Chains A and B, each alone.
Chain A
């Protein structure tokens, strides 16, 4: 995005360049209501379940509003013969979208980029040296893309890894914040993501208070970044609590 020089750093004015796509100026209206009626700083209610896929070592299903993701974990299993020896384990991530995931049918989205981001956020949390020479395969399938896909995939993947019994330092919770004009909206829907001027995604380990990945795109001013990061970290710790209670519930029902 071309940055317009000379604008005061504390506020943002939309730049009238023509190469930005045409859109209605909804973001300048402070009283604008979000499509699903949420507060700007309100996340969507999360539905999480583990043990969705029987054939996999571990799996989880997550539904955040209209974003539905299912992740299955296979492993640790033998690495392919062509790979070199490694005395720590390997993580192999693959994110794919179903053809009916987006309103326009057909695969138009970039998968390798999202898979690489998923890999980066998970590898900091898994104890790779507990399974040397083997590979853990993470397959994420986005059934419906309703906005904020990557954070939901990351949180669901870490839940699936915990369900599979892979040793981890901590669960990984991910939240993203969109900047729409003067406002910061957390957990954007796909409509809000299309109109956003910038996005910030944090994946963190909630109980250890460590960040494994921080992704910022678009135009941000420093105070906005601080505010967005605080929002995200707070939401991540709440999401972490929800994930833990989901795991405990499914673990105690399976023990009976």
Chain B
């Protein structure tokens, strides 16, 4: 949308967007039950989404698109990019650096447990053959976890190590879903490799 934003489209938190009988509250808006009104909860532009034709509820959804999204927060189900910091016998800790395609302002802690590394033969997983400290992995958040870290999982073909440095110091090339090779020395190192591309 290249048209100039005029001030009437801008809403601020607490502004009335409409009645609950006419609108559904989407992202950035909420429905107040005691007077059945939809209010905005963010500062941004209001946009109206038409209802899907086959849904029984024919109310349009109102959303507020924030002009400045705060740094993203990992949520269950989203794909994150993390850097492995520690590898232990039954889990690996990683620092979450990007959520989806946006980088976070300050890192979040995540852990990948042994049973979440891959989908098959989960009890025979060797953590040191799947990750090494310093690897960049693509993982998905399975839950909020405990007070210390989010729980991450790489148990899909598209998830796993995306980029890793070999012991000689150069970026390795993936050769299979369990191995990566160093271009300088030719040494093959085991990793749980992510399937990138087509």
Binding site for B on A (CB under 8 A): 57-58, 74-79, 81, 83-85, 87, 127, 131-134, 162-171, 205-208, 240, 243-244, 247-249, 251-252, 254-256
A208 to B7 alpha-carbon distance, docked (Å): 22
A169 to B12 alpha-carbon distance, docked (Å): 10
Contact of A163 among B39, B43, B106 (CB under 8 A): B43
24 contacts between A and B (CB under 8 A): A57-B70, A74-B106, A77-B105, A78-B108, A81-B109, A85-B146, A127-B41, A162-B13, A162-B42, A164-B68, A165-B43, A168-B13, A168-B41, A169-B30, A171-B12, A207-B16, A208-B14, A244-B12, A247-B12, A248-B12, A251-B10, A252-B7, A255-B5, A256-B4
B158 CB-CB contact with A under 8 Å:
no
B133 CB-CB contact with A under 8 Å:
no
B91 CB-CB contact with A under 8 Å:
no
Q: Which residues of A contact B146 (CB under 8 A)?
A: 85
A58 to B12 alpha-carbon distance, docked (Å): 15
A170 touches B147 (CB 8 A): no
A164 to B73 alpha-carbon distance, docked (Å): 14
Contact of A165 among B70, B107, B147 (CB under 8 A): B70
A76 touches B13 (CB 8 A): no
Nearest neighbor of B27 in chain A, beta-carbon distance: A167
Q: Which residues of A contact B144 (CB under 8 A)?
A: 87, 132-133
Contact of B13 among A57, A132, A134, A170 (CB under 8 A): A170
User: Taking chain B's interface residues, is the majority helix, strand, or loop, or is none over half, making it mixed?
Assistant: loop
7 nearest CB pairs, A to B? A170-B14, A85-B147, A207-B14, A165-B70, A167-B41, A248-B10, A168-B13
Q: Which residues of A contact B4 (CB under 8 A)?
A: 256
A83 touches B12 (CB 8 A): no
Interface digits, B82-122 against A, CB 8 Å rule (1 contact, 0 not)?
00000000000000000000000111110000000000000
A244 touches B15 (CB 8 A): yes
A251 to B15 alpha-carbon distance, docked (Å): 15
> With A133-B144, A205-B14, A252-B7 given, is the CB distance from A76 to B73 under 8 Å?
yes
Q: Which residues of B contact A127 (CB under 8 A)?
A: 30, 41
A255 touches B108 (CB 8 A): no
B42 touches A167 (CB 8 A): yes
B14 touches A206 (CB 8 A): yes
Nearest neighbor of A249 in chain B, beta-carbon distance: B7
